[in-house]
Chains A and B, each alone.
Chain A
Amino acid sequence: MWLIDSSIGRKVVMSVSGIALILFLTFHASMNVVALFSAEGYNMICEFLGANWYAVVATIGLGALVVVHFVMAFILNYQNRKARGNNAYAVTNKPEQVEWASQNMLVLGIIIILGMLLHLFNFWYNMMFAELAGLAGPFDNPSPSDGYAFIVKTFSNPVYSVIYVLWLIALWFHLTHGFWSAMQTLGVSGKIWFNRWKVIGFVFSTIIILMFLAVVVKFSLFAA
Chain B
Amino acid sequence: MAKNISFTIKYWKQNGPKDKGHFDTHEMKNVPDDTSFLEMLDMLNEELINEGQEPFVFDHDCREGICGMCSLYINGTPHGKTERGATTCQLYMRKFNDGDVITVEPWRSAGFPVIKDCMVDRSAFDKIIQAGGYTSVRTGQPQDANAILIPKQDADEAMDCATCIGCGACVAACKNGSAMLFVSSKVSQLALLPQGRPEAAKRAKAMVARMDELGFGNCTNTRACEAVCPKCESISNIARLNREFIKAKLND
A residues touching B (Cβ–Cβ < 8 Å)?
2, 5-12, 76, 79-80, 82-85, 87-99, 102-103, 105, 177, 180-181, 184-191, 194
Q: Which residue of B219, B223, B236 is within 8 Å of A11 (Cβ)?
A: B219
- What 1/0 flags go to B130-169 for Cβ under 8 Å of A? 0000000000000000000000000000000000000000
Q: For residue B160, which residue of chain A has the nearest CB?
A: A191
B73, B224, B243, B246 interface centre (most CB from chain A within 10 Å): B246
- Number of residues on chain B facing chain A (CB within 8 A): 52
* Given A97-B223, A184-B235, A194-B239: 12 more A-B contacts, CB < 8 Å: A2-B252, A6-B209, A6-B249, A82-B217, A83-B178, A95-B228, A102-B222, A187-B240, A187-B243, A188-B243, A190-B236, A194-B236
Q: Which residue of A79, A83, A90 is within 8 Å of B109 (Cβ)?
A: A83
Chain A residues within 8 Å of B69, by CB? none
B103 on the interface (CB 8 Å rule)?
Answer: yes
Known: A83-B176, A90-B23. A98 touches B236 (CB 8 A): no
- Is the Cβ of A97 less than 8 Å from the Cβ of B105? no
Q: Which residue of A91, A93, A105, A187 is within 8 Å of B220 (Cβ)?
A: A105
> Which B residues, 164 to 194, have Cβ-Cβ distances below 8 Å to chain A?
173-178, 180
Docked CA distance A102–B124 (Å):
26
Chain B residues within 8 Å of A90, by CB? 23, 103, 105
Chain B residues within 8 Å of A180, by CB? 221
Chain B residues within 8 Å of A87, by CB? 21, 108
- Is the Cβ of B245 less than 8 Å from the Cβ of A8? yes
Q: How many residue pairs at the A-B interface have CB separations less than 8 Å?
A: 147
Docked CA distance A113–B207 (Å):
35
B64 on the interface (CB 8 Å rule)?
Answer: no
B97 on the interface (CB 8 Å rule)?
Answer: no
A11, A76, A83, A181 interface centre (most CB from chain B within 10 Å): A83
- Is the Cβ of B77 less than 8 Å from the Cβ of A95? yes
B198 on the interface (CB 8 Å rule)?
Answer: no
- Is the Cβ of A83 less than 8 Å from the Cβ of B215? yes
- Is the Cβ of B249 less than 8 Å from the Cβ of A91? no
Q: For residue A72, which residue of chain B has the nearest CB?
A: B218
17 A–B pairs (Cβ distance < 8 Å), ordered by A: A2-B252, A6-B212, A7-B219, A8-B208, A9-B249, A80-B217, A82-B215, A83-B216, A83-B218, A84-B217, A85-B108, A87-B21, A89-B108, A91-B76, A96-B227, A184-B238, A186-B242
- Is the Cβ of B177 less than 8 Å from the Cβ of A80? yes
Q: Closest Cβ of chain B: how far from A87's Cβ, in Å?
A: 5
- Is the Cβ of B208 less than 8 Å from the Cβ of A187? no
- Is the Cβ of B76 less than 8 Å from the Cβ of A93? yes
Chain A residues within 8 Å of B75, by CB? 91, 93
Q: Closest Cβ of chain A: how far from B26's Cβ, in Å?
A: 16
Chain A residues within 8 Å of B117, by CB? none
Docked CA distance A189–B239 (Å):
6
Known: A88-B108, A91-B105. A103 touches B222 (CB 8 A): yes
B67 on the interface (CB 8 Å rule)?
Answer: no
Docked CA distance A97–B238 (Å):
17
Chain B residues within 8 Å of A93, by CB? 75-77, 81
Known: A83-B215, A84-B176, A93-B77. A181 touches B242 (CB 8 A): no
A8, A177, A191 interface centre (most CB from chain B within 10 Å): A8
Chain B residues within 8 Å of A10, by CB? 218
